[in-house]
Amino acid sequence: MTYNEEHNIERCLKSVSWCDEIVILDSFSTDRTLEVCRRYTDRVFQHKWEGYIGQRNRIREMATHDWVFFLDADEEVSDELREEIMAEFEAGAGDYVGYLFPRRVFYLGRWIMHGEWYPDIKLRLFKKELGHSVGEEPHDQVVVDGPVKTLAGTLYHYTYDDIFDQLNTMNRFSSISAHAKYEAGYRFKWTDFLFRPVFRFLKGYLLKRGLLDGRRGFLIAMVSAFGVAMKYVKVWELQEQKKRQ
pLDDT tens digit sequence for 186-237: 999 999 999 999 999 999 999 999 999 999 999 999 999 999 999 999 999 9
> pTM of the prediction?
0.91
CATH number at residue 65: 3.90.550.10
Q: What is the pLDDT of residues 16-40, one digit of tens each?
A: 999 999 999 999 999 999 999 999 9
Q: How high is the pLDDT of residue 93?
A: 76
Residue 150, in any domain of the structure? yes
Q: Is the pLDDT of residue 111 over 90?
A: yes
44 and 23 in one domain? yes
CA separation for the pair 9, 3 (Å, rounded): 10
152 and 168 share one domain: no
Q: What is the mean pLDDT of residues 89-113?
A: 94
The domain boundary, picked from 157, 182, 213, lies at 157
What is the distance between the alpha carbons of residues 140 and 137, in angstroms, rounded to a whole number? 6
pLDDT in tens, 171-191: 999 999 999 999 999 999 999
Tell whether 128 and 172 lie within a shared domain.
Answer: no
DSSP SS3 for 95: coil
Give the integer Cα–Cα distance in Å for 11 and 228.
31
Q: Give CA–CA dist 223/202, Å, rounded.
A: 12
Number of domains in the chain: 2
Q: Give the residue numbers spanning the domain of 18.
A: 9-157
In-domain check, residue 4 = no
In a domain, 2, yes or no: no
Q: Cα separation of 44 and 35, whole Å?
A: 10
